[in-house]
Structure 1
Amino acid sequence: MRTTVLAALIAFALPAAVLAQSSAPSAPSSYVTAAVNDPARKDDVANDARRKIADLMTFSEVKPGQKVLELIPGSGYFTRVFSAVVGQAGHVYVVWPNEYAKESESDVAGSKALVAQPHYANVSVLTQPANQLSVPQPVDVVFTSQNYHDYPDKFMGKVDPAVLNKQVFAALKPGGLYVIVDHVAETGSGLRDTDTLHRIDPAIVKKEVEAAGFVFDGESSVLRNPADPHNIKVFDKSIRGHTDQFVYRFRKPG
C-alpha cells in the first residue's frame, strides 16, 4: 500500500513533460479514426501500418476546427489526414520553400492538384523563401516529417535552424504544438550528416528548438527501429522506408 501511495505522489510531483515522454501511445480518437478511414485516401492505406499514421495524428493532438501548418508536405500523405481531421471549420496550410520546390516540382504540382479538389477545399498551398516562413493566421499545430534536417543544407540556402524555429514559434498560437519527425543520425553527430545521409542527431534538434522558446512536450517511439545502424543513407535499399525516426513534440508556452 505504501509503495502504491509513494508512486502516486512521485507521479503527481513529476512535470507533465516528463510524464509525456514516457507515456504509451494513446488510442486514436473517433475523428482521427474517421480521417484515416476517409475513402479519398484509398491509395494511401497500404502505407498506414508502416507509417503509423493514426499514432502520429494522435500524438500531434490535432483536433476538428484547428489550423495546421505542414512544412514540406511531400506527396500529401499527411495533408490528406490533417484535412479530414480539422474539417471545414479548420484549415491546413502546406508550405513549400521555394528552394525545395525546385528540387521537387512533381510534389508541388501534386499539392496544387490536391487543393483544386472540392474534397480538400480547406487546404491552401503557400510558396515562400525557406528563411521567411509565414502563415496568414496563427495556427494550432506546425508539423514536419523528414525535412527538418534539410534546412541547414546548401540547396535550401543553409537556413539557420534558429531562424526557422523562431518563425515557427511566431506562427503558433500560445499553447500551440510543433511536431518534428526525422531520421536519426549517430549520437553526437549534430548536423554533420544532414546533407550526406539525410539524418540528424535528435539531441541537436531538441537543443535548437528549445533555444527558440519552446518547451519539450514529449516523444513517441512508434517509428523507432533499433536495427537501423544510423551511418548509412536513408535511401539505402537495406533501410529505406524503415529508418529509425524520432518523433518530438514541443509546445509554445501559453
Structure 2
Amino acid sequence: MRRPADLVAFSKVKPGDVVMDVWPGGGYWTRLFSPIVGPKGKVYAYVPAEIAGFKTDPVGIAKALAAEPGRGNVEAISDPIAQQPKPSAFNTFDVIWTFENYHDLHNSFMNGASVDGFNQAVFKLVKPGGYFVVVDHAAAPGAGLKNTEDLHRIDPATVKAEVEKAGFVLDAEATLLANPADDHTLKIFDPAIKGKTDRFMLRFKKPAQ
C-alpha cells in the first residue's frame, strides 16, 4: 500500500517544481511527479552510480522511463551518491525524494560510500525553503543502523540525526504508512509482512537564507 495521493501531498511537489527521485526503481514516483510538475517543471530520475552495475540495469530502466511518450520533463541521471554538486547546481531543487531506499545507502553494496556526503550534497542542491523527503521501513526503536542490511530497515531517529546533521530541519512527519502490528523483526521481503511494513515519513526543510 503506497497511498500515492497522500504521499504526493506530503511531498509538497507542485506545478513548475524541479524534483529529484532518488533511486527510482521502476519509476513509480517519477511517473506520478512528472504530470504534477508539468511542462514548466522537471523530474530527475537519479540512480546512484554505486548501483548502476546491478543486473536489473537501473540506469537503463531510468533512461527508458525518460523516453516514454509524454515524459519530456523527465531526465535520467547517475552519479556517485556523495559527489558534491557544481556551484551552478546549488539551490536547484524544490523537492528531493527517496522512497524505501535510504536504508540501502548504508549497505555493503554501496562500497563504503558516504551517507553524510550524500546528505550534504542534497542540502546544497535543495533551494532555501525546499524539501528533502524520506520514506522508509522502520526498524525497532534504538536499532540505529543495525538492521539496514539483514532486514532492510532503519531507525527513524537515526535518519533524523543524519539528515539534520547536514543542515536540514525536520518540517513534518506522518504515520500514514505506520503499522503497529509490525514488530520490526522480519525482513521486509518476508511474505508475512511484505507490503505491510511499518513505514515512517519524514519531510525535512532547508532553512530560508
Shorter-normalised TM-score: what interval? over 0.9
Q: 2:7 aligns with which of 56, 64, 70?
A: 56
Query: Which residue of structure 2 aligns with residue 6 of structure 1?
Result: none
Query: Which residue of structure 2 aligns with residue 82 of structure 1?
Result: 33
Q: State the Cα deviation string for residues 47-78 of structure 1 (Å, max 9, x = none).
A: xxx21100000001111001001100011000
Q: What is the Cα deviation at residue 93 of structure 1?
A: 0.7
Query: Which residue of structure 1 aligns with residue 178 of structure 2?
Result: 224
Query: Which residue of structure 2 aligns with residue 29 of structure 1?
Result: none
Is 1:173 matched up with 2:127? yes
Long gaps (5+) in structure 2: none
Long gaps (5+) in structure 1: 1-49
Q: What is the Cα deviation at residue 161 of structure 1?
A: 2.2
Could you tell me how far apart the structure 1 residues matched to 2:146 and 2:113 are?
15
Could you tell me how far apart the structure 2 residues matched to 1:171 and 1:51 are?
27
Any conservation in 2 of the 1:130–1:156 contact (CA below 8 Å)? Answer: no
Query: Which residue of structure 1 aligns with residue 81 of structure 2?
Result: 130
Any conservation in 1 of the 2:81–2:117 contact (CA below 8 Å)? Answer: no
Query: Which residue of structure 1 aligns with residue 20 of structure 2?
Result: 69
Deviates more, 1:132-141 or 1:156-165: 132-141
Q: State the Cα deviation string for residues 6-61 of structure 1 (Å, max 9, x = none).
A: xxxxxxxxxxxxxxxxxxxxxxxxxxxxxxxxxxxxxxxxxxxx211000000011
Q: What is the Cα deviation at residue 151 of structure 1?
A: 1.1
Any conservation in 1 of the 2:133–2:202 contact (CA below 8 Å)? Answer: yes
The structure richer in helix per residue is 1
Any conservation in 2 of the 1:190–1:203 contact (CA below 8 Å)? Answer: yes
**TM-score relative to the length of structure 2:** 0.93
Q: Give me the CA root mean square deviation.
A: 1.4
Is 1:112 matched up with 2:63? yes
Could you tell me how far apart the structure 2 residues matched to 1:127 and 1:108 are?
7
Q: What is the Cα deviation at residue 106 of structure 1?
A: 4.0
Q: Percent identity?
A: 48
Give the aligned residue type for 1:176.
G
Any conservation in 2 of the 1:219–1:247 contact (CA below 8 Å)? Answer: yes
Give the aligned residue type for 2:166.
A
Is 1:93 matched up with 2:44? yes
In terms of Rg, which structure is larger? Answer: 1
The structure richer in strand per residue is 2
Aligned to 2:133, the other structure's residue is in SS state strand
Could you tell me how far apart the structure 1 residues matched to 2:77 and 2:125 are?
14
Any conservation in 1 of the 2:97–2:133 contact (CA below 8 Å)? Answer: yes
Any conservation in 2 of the 1:64–1:85 contact (CA below 8 Å)? Answer: yes
Any conservation in 2 of the 1:153–1:159 contact (CA below 8 Å)? Answer: no
Could you tell me how far apart the structure 2 residues matched to 1:74 and 1:63 are?
22
Give the aligned residue type for 2:172.
G
Alignment: residue pair count:
205
Any conservation in 2 of the 1:70–1:144 contact (CA below 8 Å)? Answer: yes
Q: 1:121 aligns with which of 51, 57, 72?
A: 72
